[in-house]
Amino acid sequence: MSDHTPHPAMDAYWMPFTANRQFKKAPRLLTRADGMYFTDDKGRQILDGIAGLWCVNAGHNRPKIVQAIQQQAAELDFAPPFQMAHPKAFELAERLAALTPAGLNKVFFTNSGSESVETALKMAIAYHRVRGEGARTRLIGRERGYHGVNFGGISVGGMVANRKMFGTLLSGVDHIRHTHDHARNAFSLGQPAHGAEFADDLERLIALHDASTIAAVIVEPVAGSTGVLIPPQGYLQRLREICDKHGILLIFDEVITGFGRTGNPFGAQTFGVTPDLMTVAKGLTNGCVPMGAVFAKQGIHDAFMNGPEHLIEFFHGYTYSAHPLACAAALGTLDTYADEGLLTRAAELQGYFAESLHALRNEPHVIDIRNIGLVGGIELAPLPGEPAKRAFNIFLDCYEKGLLIRTTGDTIALSPPLIIERSHIDQIVDTLRGALKRAA
């Protein structure tokens, strides 16, 4: 924790989703983390307002997770996951199946949210095929959706910057409209009242393509990366009903909403709608070791278990699926969540969090505030002709003042570790208030 950590050479590292040239002129380097705080290379404490990147749900440097990883590295560093296994993979799958909504009791491991999405999309198409409905190959995403950065994920995703540079993407993909309705829903507390009918847009695509060609619909219960869009009341129920009516699988991408973010273990439970497949990552290991997973309904899994027993049923998997270090980290994480009641803590704090955020509604530039559980979005009017710049300037200002937030376009996103106390919420809101007042 020295205040003179030298800057390393910065030429070689091509940074992901980063303004590389700007960053390297004024680097922001984190060197340690504990609880709710990072320490930067100058020894300053930075309050973590976004759980790292929506993933460190139990806060940083948690003893049970650290010890689990250390012990695992010395005991079994790697075990091949194809035609072989290690005990913790099974233990973790059982523990997870006990947390998921009823019916989602099969667990397939990956190494990230992006890989979970590819896995779920492939499972959906293959499921229909093994049942003799091989014409169901179309995938339906949603405008303003984020499903990671691999080709399947950006194809069903709906963020233009993530798509436009990469050619024609997957064929046979279409999108329902997004759920954002600023005119009717601005400054809603929790779930907006208007917009259940946006789900009916799926009927439009079914009328165009015919249900017999559609494998699955994938949506985030709460759209995170695109600026914290909360599902209107009744919207997810309606989507579920339409999928059921037409034999289409419903996939919830819970990479952000999973592991306590909305006040229950999963968003599916908060919103009372159970998908057929569910993708997770991030909070699964508290961000400590990369890991993702897909939860599948029993019937989806069972549909594959038909041919001769010596044959592989699903031709898919990763070298690092169920990696021992990741399994150990996940078990330590689930223990920590359970010990401290973290998977429902957002439900206890959401009232105070919402009230505190909404108190910013009359500050300069604020045009909307959105919240659910311990996730919040504050949308700003853009600087004329310079979209995203005002929010980015506020991000830089907050960092100077010791607070890490995230911005997407002109929306500020907050998703603090679930160990947060009211005093930290006050610090976040006070820092933001100052930055909004100073902002051009």
Binding site for ligand PXG (CB under 6 A): 53-54, 112-114, 117, 146-148, 220, 224-225, 253, 255-256, 281, 406, 408, 413
Among 266, 320, 337, 353, binds ligand PLP (CB under 6 A): 320
Pick from 428, 427, 419: nearest CA to 62: 419
| Size of residue set near ligand PLP by CB under 6 A | 3
Q: Decide whether 101 or 148 has the Cβ nearer to ligand PXG.
A: 148
Shortest Cβ 294–ligand PLP spacing (Å): 15
Q: Decide whether 59 or 148 has the Cβ nearer to ligand PXG.
A: 148
Q: Which does 320 bind (CB under 5 to 8 A by kind): ligand PLP, ligand PXG, none?
A: ligand PLP
**Residue of closest CB approach to ligand PXG:** 113
Six token digits for residue 324: 């021992």
List binders of ligand PLP among 157-186 (CB under 6 A).
none
DSSP collapsed to 3 states, the chain:
CCCCCCCCCCCCCCCCCCCHHHHHHCCCCEEEEEECEEEECCCCEEEECCHHHHCCCCCECCHHHHHHHHHHHHHCCCCCCCCCCCHHHHHHHHHHHHHCCCCCCEEEEECCHHHHHHHHHHHHHHHHHHCCCCCCCEEEEECCCCCCCCHHHHHHCCCHHHHCCCCCCCCCEEEECCCCCHHHHCCCCCCCCCCHHHHHHHHHHHHHHCHHHEEEEEECCCECCCCCECCCCCHHHHHHHHHHHHCCEEEEECCCCCCCCCCCCCHHHHHCCCCCEEEECHHHHCCCCCCEEEEECHHHHHHHCCCCCCCCCCCCCCCCCCCHHHHHHHHHHHHHHHHHCCCCHHHHHHHHHHHHHHCCCCCCCEEEEEEECCEEEEEECCECCECCHHHHHHHHHHHHCCEECEEECCEEEECCCCCCCHHHHHHHHHHHHHHHHHCC
Question: Are 200 and 238 contacting, i.e. CB atoms less than 8 angstroms apart?
Answer: yes
Window contacting ligand PLP (CB under 6 A); options: 227-235, 249-257, 272-280, 312-320: 312-320
Dist CA 143 CA 226 (whole Å)? 10
Q: Which does 318 bind (CB under 5 to 8 A by kind): ligand PXG, ligand PLP, none?
A: ligand PLP
Q: Which does 405 bind (CB under 5 to 8 A by kind): ligand PLP, ligand PXG, none?
A: none
Q: Decide whether 321 or 427 has the Cβ nearer to ligand PLP.
A: 321
List binders of ligand PLP among 375-434 (CB under 6 A).
none
Q: Which does 114 bind (CB under 5 to 8 A by kind): ligand PXG, ligand PLP, none?
A: ligand PXG
Q: Decide whether 295 or 318 has the Cβ nearer to ligand PLP.
A: 318
What's the chain's length in residues?
440
Checking phi first, is residue 386 left (phi over 0); if not, alpha (psi -120 to 50) or beta?
Answer: beta
Shortest Cβ 112–ligand PXG spacing (Å): 4
Q: Which does 408 bind (CB under 5 to 8 A by kind): ligand PXG, ligand PLP, none?
A: ligand PXG
Q: Decide whether 57 or 114 has the Cβ nearer to ligand PLP.
A: 114
Q: Decide whether 224 or 292 has the Cβ nearer to ligand PLP.
A: 292
Among 146, 318, 353, 395, binds ligand PLP (CB under 6 A): 318
Shortest Cβ 67–ligand PXG spacing (Å): 24
Q: Decide whether 39 or 114 has the Cβ nearer to ligand PLP.
A: 114
Q: Decide whether 320 or 395 has the Cβ nearer to ligand PLP.
A: 320
Shortest Cβ 50–ligand PXG spacing (Å): 8
Q: Which does 52 bind (CB under 5 to 8 A by kind): ligand PXG, ligand PLP, none?
A: none
Q: Decide whether 17 or 315 has the Cβ nearer to ligand PXG.
A: 17
Among 18, 31, 298, 319, binds ligand PLP (CB under 6 A): 319
Residues of this chain that interact with ligand PLP (CB under 6 A) are 318-320
